[in-house]
Amino acid sequence: MTLIFVSPDREVLNNPDNIAVSPGGEIILCEDGGGLLDQNMGERLHDLTQNGGIFPFAENNVMPDGERGSIGVFGNRQWAGAIFSPDGRWLFVNMQTPGITFAITGPWSEGLFAGLERNDEDDKDDD
């Protein structure tokens, strides 16, 4: 087993406890840290590359804390149960409370977000 990433701070990654491996070999991390309420930020889904780069690609903004609505306030609720469809085309992930399932599609087999700037060594100029 090789350690490829350690979060330096909760603003980077806040207590992930559910993971899934994408068809492209990257790791999807679901936060379970209660949100970063002091920064008005909800729980996030992150992509962790094979060489240790990480970036958030989804944030829980289902009725952010401080807003009132008929169904409640859920901005600090966790993502859970990430899993890919058998054909690898869809990522299914749940918002544990109030019980919402999301279906997200992407170019998973080519790497989660090929071409986007990432926080890893591959994207640095070698000059």
DSSP-based three-state secondary structure for 103: strand
d(CA 30, CA 45): 5
pTM (2 decimals)? Answer: 0.75
**pLDDT tens digit string along 5-40?**
999 988 899 889 899 998 888 899 998 876 676 667
**pLDDT tens digit string along 34-54?**
667 666 777 889 999 888 999
Residues 62 and 78: beta-carbon distance below 8 Å:
no
**Sign for the pseudo-dihedral over CA of 3, 5, 10, 16:** negative
* Both tokens assigned to 69: 């609505």
